[in-house]
Chain A
Amino acid sequence: MCRLSRDLFPIVVAVVGAHALTYLLVGVLPDAAVVSLGIEGTKQEVLAAYQSVHETRSYAKVIVDLIHFDLGQTLDGVPVVKEIMDALSYSAPRLTLSFILVSGVVTAAALLPPSQTADPVVASFLAFLPPYVMPFIGLVLVLYLGFALNLSLSDSVTQAIVIATLAIAPAALVWSQTRKIAHRNLSTDFARTLLSIGATPLIQRFRLLNNVIAELAPSLEKVFTGLVSVLLFVEPIYGLSGFGTTAIRAIRRSDTDLLLGLVLILALSVAAFRMLSIIVRRHYHMPI
């Protein structure tokens, strides 16, 4: 119980802190009424009518409403919970499939035999690969196929490109880590013993996969954060509905309630991944 409290305390502080900080930072964004009304926002009566509908809640009220599971309403008059659930229903499958893709990369990196020539080259390339460029390269690819080759890409192909684009940056991160860990593990006594008792090199690397997963556990949180960060670029670029597009819209329109709701969900998700990595490392009796 005490250990759980010790693990949970910093996570709760981080979630609450992110939420409170967002409320403060919303003040830096343009006035929502001005953004929505444009030049009409100069008229006091029009502004007053708008503000009477879109009331700004104090942070104390936000917290009280949150305790009652009320995240407020978007500027469009849609409950924030519904808006976020809709966005997640689009983004969650994309994130999951990207995560599976990253997992596949981890498995491949752990099972492939070490190469004295290819590994340094790939590592150098990945170190200089700017992950944020990938959504744009993907878009150029889609447009090129559309215009130059006069192809109309099906939605499934576009979705596949999006998933690959999402996965590429976190995959690059874990590829490098996995290769280093795998290389180090292969030189341990345990690995040599496996070979001496008749295991093939592939079986040897397969047995060492657990060690790789255990050591990569702290990166789970980073992988998730990386996936969500790229989501903010990718979904708006491809005009796809989801968490990223909703977040960008919330920022551009200074939609306070929606922004707070999104940050809360994101913070809770990152916290969940942090807890998962703690659980995995405890499972393997590794230091936290």
Chain B
Amino acid sequence: MRTLPRWLMIAFVVMAVVIAIVLFEKTDKTAPVSERTASLRLQSFALSLHPLKMADVESRQVATLLHTGLIAQEQDGTTKPAIASAWIQKGNEWTFTLHKNITFANGSPVTVKDVLTSLCNALQPSSPWSWALASIAHQRSQDGKTIDCTGITATGENQVNIVESHPVPWFLDALSGPAGWILPSGAKEEAYGVVSGAGPYRVKEIVPDVRVTLEARSTGSVITPGVKTVTFEYLPDDSVAAQKFSGGQLDVLDLTSPQLQQLLVDATGKLKYPGTMTKRPWDRVRLVIVNQKALSAKGFSPQQTRDFIDALASTVERDKIASLAKGGADPLVAPFPPAKDIPGANTPRKVDQLKTPKSNLTILTEPDPYSDLIAASLPKQLGSVSMGYKGVDKGMLINSLLKGEFEIISVLIEATVHSPEFWKAFFTPGNPYSVVGVPLTGLDNVDVSTDSGVAEAGQRILHEGNWIALLQESRIQAVAPGISGISFSPSGQTNFAFIKKD
């Protein structure tokens, strides 16, 4: 038997030592949180920081530090100046006066042209925010592919005029979010959708699946940075995030699951660790959606499907499900969330008289423990219909939802602009969102910017729609001592642009 050459064995040992040294250097070191560093959580790492390509709320949280719009609206409706130093409204017409001597992170000055271009780009059909700014006067091209932004004009060297064709209450909310964020004309997009913004920070480093580090801009931003560095740590696991908060390595944590509350909140509802806890309204609801086509394929007639939806809606134990949230959610009966109280929504249905084909239906849900608890709390049997549930990955869930490949689905829907128009879109004929709802003829003519319109839309959706509301969530946020300046949009989206640390 031959032996391995000595040089080979020595080479192995030397390699091991070198690699051990490299490992030590490469360790994902979490620097101690200094006074001038704010450490925040990133729950998923699918960054898309370009405002016109942003489709998730995680990216939005990061982007609030990089970008800003003409104004910033608070949850209580007050409006703060941002790129615009002043604004006046006369009827349908808004005039914004821009700050002078402010620049983007790449050093180029913020001009009226940048404002016009950015807002017009957001209005284009290819923008995810076109609906939010749709009240601005515009004309669609004959082929429908482009928008002529007739309602946005420059009225001087540093003034922008915006005319609304039909004023809506959520206009300033839309303008202060990604739809209204101003980008430099011809901005070059880098990896992760990074473009120079007018916000108080710039991207310093993105380490995939580990962290995003932002550094304060020294000059040119209209918002003065409150800390030197902001770090978003990728912490998908709730337990690990709770441990980091309790250990002082995380400054802000949204308590979005019962598990987080169990770990960080005591029996009296107070934080177990130093810091404060706030609870705010949040346009985030948990729903059950019934696929009428799938039920039809199982032999349900339209009336049987209606009866089934009504029966399921009246037998769901919302109080029990809400109690699982430990204060983070309230029961929601209205399947059209802006209409909190729809007459007849609470009327019990006669489940024992439900006549439907004998069948087994599957409820799809996300596989996280909270979604799992909710799905497990739904009725298992309704007349001759048996229901089981299956947890699937979020991507698979969205895919099933949008392609109609489901029978019943339990989902979380979040509005990023506080607008009934968003919710109405799911039931508006011709609106792409209606693949998730049911197109209700004539609903497009209902004006939901008025209370009566909201009530009317609520009634239609209650009696003809396919949504069963479960919970209205609240944003409960744990904040470490010394942290201030976190603001929220009217829909409850967090804005970290003004964050400070003492």
A111 to B436, alpha carbons, bound, how many Å? 65
Using CB atoms, name the residue of chain A closest to B393: A252
CB neighbours of B55 from chain A (8 A) = 36-41
Interface residues on B, range: 35 or more
CB neighbours of B234 from chain A (8 A) = 239
Q: Is the CB of B125 closer than 8 A to any CB of chain A?
A: yes
Number of A residues with CB within 8 Å of any CB on chain B: 61
CB atoms of A245 and B125 under 8 A apart: no
Minimum Cβ distance to chain A for residue B409 (Å)? 13
Q: Is the CB of B208 closer than 8 A to any CB of chain A?
A: yes
Q: Is the CB of A210 closer than 8 A to any CB of chain B?
A: yes
Q: Is the CB of B189 closer than 8 A to any CB of chain A?
A: yes
A282 to B29, alpha carbons, bound, how many Å? 43
**Residues 119-142 of B at the A interface (beta carbon under 8 Å):** 124-128
Query: Which of A38, A210, A254 interacts with B56 by CB under 8 Å?
Result: A38
Minimum Cβ distance to chain A for residue B393 (Å)? 6
Q: Is the CB of B373 closer than 8 A to any CB of chain A?
A: no
CB atoms of A155 and B28 under 8 A apart: yes
A124 to B127, alpha carbons, bound, how many Å? 61
CB atoms of B127 and A76 under 8 A apart: no
CB atoms of B28 and A240 under 8 A apart: yes
Q: Is the CB of B287 closer than 8 A to any CB of chain A?
A: no
CB atoms of A146 and B243 under 8 A apart: yes
Minimum Cβ distance to chain A for residue B341 (Å)? 26
How many inter-chain residue pairs (CB < 8 Å) link A and B? 158
Q: Is the CB of A86 closer than 8 A to any CB of chain B?
A: yes
Q: Is the CB of B157 closer than 8 A to any CB of chain A?
A: no
CB atoms of B47 and A284 under 8 A apart: no
Minimum Cβ distance to chain B for residue A208 (Å)? 9
Using CB atoms, name the residue of chain B closest to A253: B46
Using CB atoms, name the residue of chain B closest to A283: B2
A93 to B23, alpha carbons, bound, how many Å? 5
Query: Which of B20, B189, B395 interacts with A97 by CB under 8 Å?
Result: B20
CB neighbours of A143 from chain B (8 A) = 239-240, 243
CB atoms of B47 and A76 under 8 A apart: yes
- Chain B, residues 213-242, CB within 8 Å of chain A (1/0): the string is 000000000000000000001111101100
Q: Is the CB of B190 closer than 8 A to any CB of chain A?
A: yes
Minimum Cβ distance to chain B for residue A143 (Å)? 5
> A residues touching B (Cβ–Cβ < 8 Å)?
29-31, 34-46, 48-50, 76-78, 83, 86-87, 89-90, 92-94, 96-97, 100, 139, 143, 146-147, 152, 155-156, 159, 210-211, 213-214, 236-242, 245-246, 249, 252-254, 283-285
Please give 6 more A-B residue pairs, beta carbons under 8 A apart, in addition to A30-B399, A43-B125.
Answer: A30-B395, A39-B436, A40-B55, A77-B191, A139-B237, A239-B235
> What are 18 inter-chain pairs, A to B, with CB distance below 8 A?
A30-B398, A37-B55, A42-B433, A45-B125, A46-B125, A76-B208, A86-B208, A87-B208, A93-B20, A93-B26, A146-B247, A155-B30, A159-B23, A239-B240, A241-B209, A246-B208, A249-B45, A284-B1
